[in-house]
């Protein structure tokens, strides 16, 4: 999604909350109706006009789906659902511990919640094991504002697709003892008619950022990315970006991105060119032993903030104005006793939160493991974050 310094995310949320027939026709005129041959729902994100993008690591493709879900709700209100795993298991005819949620995205037009799900052994999730390491998600579920859950069929749907170039080959294990192919696509962000797709490639410098024009017409470009990993004390080119957002700072668009063990970096969009190798600026190190999951922006009053969810940390909140104060990136390893350095940030008290998205302009939707062990969908007003 688009994010800019003056909470352009919320401006876009407002714009995307209202359907434009002309824009819809322009964006979907080349879509075809039929089976969308999605092999793995690795990543979900929404673009304009209620179009859902699916990053498919197994197929090495990005799919754009017209869900025909463009009607605004009668009222934009908070949403909650207790024991999500139990309800999904009942729908799918399995045990609650046999359901794994891979990703979550909210349609800004309808406020419907979409989940990428697999029938997997949730007990196999470990400290470094992501849902995509366990299985390829093949089930797309929709939850409406009243809490009704339904499966979305991809057998006869208007869609288009594009190849992601030079994806990493499967069959080789990474340091987490998972197949490298599961990291072919790790995140997708939409901005100004382009999709930014992160993941591993088969290039010498494996960490790659692909740019696809949407509607899908031109061939995708590839830029390889390097990061100085403060906790590891070295530059790395094999670690994939985990999650990212485009954001405008002082009139220039940057990609703000995070990696495993939580270095937080910026990449000027002007440097993202086909065939180029870019060294990102490491703005901060937020603590090793963690994997970022989602990153969004939201507004409190007239001020914008960045919010990031994680596997092993509570929510991290960043003031974008603090990013503009950093002139030089971090280039030295952590000193003995150091854990987090660089960019100022706050760690919020809300724990157990994995996935997050903007439910609407006033509320943030979270997927949260509660103290009793249940996995709930909870909504928090922006001002509480």
The CATH number assigned to the domain holding 308 equals 2.120.10
For 108, the token pair is 């800004």
Q: According to the 3-state scheme, what is the secondary structure of 231-300?
A: CCCEEECCCCCCEEEEEEECCEEEEEEECCCCEEEEEEHHHCCCCCEEECEEEEECCCCCCEEEEEEEEE
Domain-embedded: residue 142: yes
Question: What is the tally of structural domains in the chain?
Answer: 1
Domain-embedded: residue 130: yes
- Asked whether the whole model's pTM tops 0.85, one would answer yes
Domain-embedded: residue 193: yes
Domain-embedded: residue 278: yes
Domain-embedded: residue 82: yes
Whole-number Å distance between alpha carbons of 26 and 4:
24
Domain-embedded: residue 2: no
Whole-number Å distance between alpha carbons of 36 and 58:
14
Range of the domain at 278: 8-384
58, 39 Cβ separation under 8 angstroms: yes
One pLDDT digit (tens) per residue for the chain, 385 residues: 333 333 444 444 444 456 789 999 999 999 999 999 999 999 999 999 999 999 999 999 999 999 999 999 988 889 999 999 999 999 999 999 999 999 999 999 999 999 999 998 887 777 788 899 889 999 999 999 999 999 999 999 999 999 999 999 887 777 777 888 999 999 999 999 999 999 999 988 999 999 999 999 889 999 999 999 999 999 999 999 999 999 999 999 999 999 999 999 999 999 999 999 999 999 999 999 999 999 999 999 999 999 999 999 999 999 999 999 999 999 999 998 889 999 999 999 889 999 999 999 999 999 999 999 999 999 999 999 9
Q: How far is CA 383 from CA 16, 299, 355, in A?
A: 22, 8, 19
Q: What is the pLDDT of residue 18?
A: 61
Q: What are phi and psi of 122, to 5 degrees?
A: -60, -25
Q: What is the pLDDT of residue 349?
A: 87
């Amino acid at each position: 999604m688009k994010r800019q310094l003056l909470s352009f995310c919320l401006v876009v949320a407002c714009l995307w909350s209202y359907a434009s027939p002309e824009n819809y026709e322009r964006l979907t005129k080349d879509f075809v109706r039929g089976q969308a041959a999605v092999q793995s729902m690795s990543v979900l994100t929404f673009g304009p006009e209620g179009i859902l993008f699916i990053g498919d690591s197994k197929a090495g493709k990005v799919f754009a789906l017209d869900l025909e879900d463009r009607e605004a709700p009668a009222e934009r209100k908070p949403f909650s659902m207790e024991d999500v795993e139990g309800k999904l298991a009942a729908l799918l005819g399995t045990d609650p511990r046999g359901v794994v949620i891979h990703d979550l995205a909210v349609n800004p037009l309808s406020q419907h919640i979409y989940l990428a799900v697999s029938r997997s052994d949730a007990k196999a999730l470990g400290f470094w094991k992501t849902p995509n390491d366990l299985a390829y998600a093949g089930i797309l579920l929709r939850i409406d504002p009243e809490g009704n859950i339904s499966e979305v069929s991809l057998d006869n749907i208007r869609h288009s697709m594009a190849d992601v170039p030079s994806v990493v080959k499967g069959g080789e294990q990474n340091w987490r003892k998972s197949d490298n192919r599961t990291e072919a696509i790790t995140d997708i962000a939409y901005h100004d008619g382009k999709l930014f797709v992160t993941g591993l490639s088969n290039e010498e410098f494996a960490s790659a950022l692909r740019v696809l024009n949407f509607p899908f017409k031109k061939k995708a470009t590839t830029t390889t990315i390097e990061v100085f990993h403060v906790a590891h004390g070295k530059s790395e080119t094999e670690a994939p970006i985990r999650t990212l957002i485009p954001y405008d700072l002082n009139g220039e668009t940057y990609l703000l991105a995070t990696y495993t063990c939580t270095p937080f970096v910026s990449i000027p969009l002007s440097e993202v060119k086909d065939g180029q190798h870019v060294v990102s600026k490491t703005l901060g190190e937020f603590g090793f032993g963690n994997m970022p999951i989602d990153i969004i922006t939201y507004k409190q009053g007239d001020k914008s903030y960045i919010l990031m969810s994680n596997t092993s940390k509570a929510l991290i909140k960043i003031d974008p104005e603090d990013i503009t104060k950093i002139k030089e990136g971090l280039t030295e390893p952590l000193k003995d006793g150091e854990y987090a350095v660089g960019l100022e940030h706050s760690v919020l008290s809300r724990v157990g939160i994995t996935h997050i998205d903007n439910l609407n302009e006033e509320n943030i939707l979270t997927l949260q493991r509660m103290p009793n062990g249940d996995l709930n969908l909870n909504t928090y007003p922006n001002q509480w974050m």
